[in-house]
Amino acid sequence: MHDVQPDQYQDLLAEKQTQIETLFEAFDTPALEVFASKPLHYRVRTEFRVWHEGDRCFYAMFEPGTKKDPIEITDFPIADESICELMPQLMEKLNQTPILKKKLFQVEFLHTLSGEKLVTLIYHRQLDEEWQAAAQTLKSDLGIHLIGRARKMRLLMDQEFVIERLNVDGKAYQYKQIEGSFTQPNASMNEKMLSWARSVTENSQGDLLELYCGNGNFSIALAENFRRVVATEISKTSVNAALDNKAMNGLDNVDFARVSAEEFTDHMNGVKLRKRLAGMNLEEADFQTVLVDPPRAGLDEGSCKLISQYPNIVYISCNPETLKTNLELLSKTHDIKRFALFDQFPYTHHIESGVYLTRKA
C-alpha cells in the first residue's frame, strides 16, 4: 500500500537523492539532476483486485505478502484525476449489473494525459453474449474503451489501445499504448525523461542505436537529434505499436527491428545474419550513440561490452543496484557526463535514473 504524504514529498525525494549520491560516491559523477514528480495524481496506469462480499464487490488491495483481509479502496490519490473520477462510477455500474459483476477478479485502468480511457475487466469465468451486451452498454454509458479477459479469452468492445499525446520541449508526440504492454505509468515524468534524453543527445553526430526500445518511447522523441535511428525490441506487439508511432509522428529516419540485443550484435559482427535485419542497409550506419533501457536485472557482462563499443551511451535504469554494477564496467571505457534521478514512483523505494557517458579521451 502507498503511504501518500504530499506534505512530506520533498523530504522523501531528498532522501532518494542522498541514497543515489551515496551509492555512486565512488564514481566521478557530475552534480545529480533531480526531477520531481507531481505529489498527487501521477499514475495513468493502475490495477486493482476486486473483492466480493455479500451482494457487493469493491476495489481491494492487500498488505505485502498477504492475500486475505482486503483493504477496500475508495480513494486512490496517486492515480490520474480521470481514473479517480471513473473508479466509483465504474464500481457503481458493476454492482448494479450482476452479469458484469459475476466472478469479476480484477480491474485494470490505462488512461492518457490527453483524456482517453481504457478499462480491462478480468474474470474467473468465460464471457458470453449476455456479458458482451452488458459490456457494450457499460462502455457507452461511461465513454470508455473496454476489454473483457478470461482464461484463453480476450474480447474487445472496440479497440485494444489508447493514443497518448506527450508534450516534450514544446513539441507534441503521439504514442499508441496497447493494453497489456509496458508503458510508462507516470506520464508527466516520462515527458521529463524524454526532454532530458533529448538534451544530452543534442547536436549528436551520426546515428542512434536503441536496444529494448518498447513502443518507441525514446526513439520517436530523439529522432530529430540524429541522422538515423535503428531500434530493436523482441516483443512483436511493441514493435507493431512502434511502427504505428513512427507513422503517426511522420518520421522517415527511424527503423524498428524485432530482434534481441544479442541477435543484433551477432548480425553486425557477422556471426549469424538475421533475415529481419536484411535490407536495412546497416552496413552504412554510423552508430555514434547507443541507448539502453533494460529491465531491473540490468545488462549482463556481454551486453556491457557491446555498448562500450560506442562513443556515447545513454543508460536509463530502473534499478540503482544493477546500474552501479554496470557502471563499474562501463566506467573503464567511458566517463559519466550527466546523471539524473527521475522520481517515477513517489512514496516508494523505486528510483529511475538516467546516465549519459562518453568514451574516454
**CATH number, domain containing residue 206:** 3.40.50.150
Instruction: Give the pLDDT of residue 12.
Output: 96
Instruction: Return d(Cα 249, Cα 194) in angstroms, integer.
Output: 15
My answer on whether 227 and 279 are in the same domain is: yes
The three cell numbers locating residue 170: 514544446
d(CA 198, CA 223): 9
* pLDDT computed for residue 2 by the predictor: 53
The per-residue DSSP string of 256-320 comes to: EE---HHHHHHHHTTSS--GGGTTS-GGG--EEEEEE---TT---HHHHHHHTTSSEEEEEES-H
Residue 72 inside a domain? The answer is yes
Please check whether residues 30 and 69 belong to one and the same domain: no
Q: List residues with catalytic annotation.
A: 318, 352
Q: Do both 151 and 72 map to the same domain?
A: yes
**CA–CA separation, 55 vs 87, rounded Å?**
19
pLDDT of amino acid 266: 80
Q: Is residue 237 part of a domain?
A: yes
Mean pLDDT by 10 residues, the chain (361 residues): 81 97 95 97 96 96 83 94 97 98 98 95 98 98 98 96 97 95 93 98 95 94 97 91 96 92 80 84 90 90 89 97 96 97 95 97 88
Residue 280 has a pLDDT of 84
What's residue 207's pLDDT? 97
Q: How many CB atoms lie within 10 A of CB 48?
A: 18
> Domain boundary at 130, 162, 194, which?
162
Residue span of the structural domain in which 15 resides:
6-40+183-359
The per-residue pLDDT for 1 is 45
For the chain, give the number of residues.
361
At 247 the pLDDT is 97
State the Cα–Cα distance between residues 38 and 277, nearest whole angstrom.
Answer: 41
Inter-CA distances, 42 with 86, 108, 218, 258, Å: 15, 16, 20, 31
- How much is the pLDDT for 67? 76
348 and 230, same structural domain? yes
> How many domains in the chain?
2
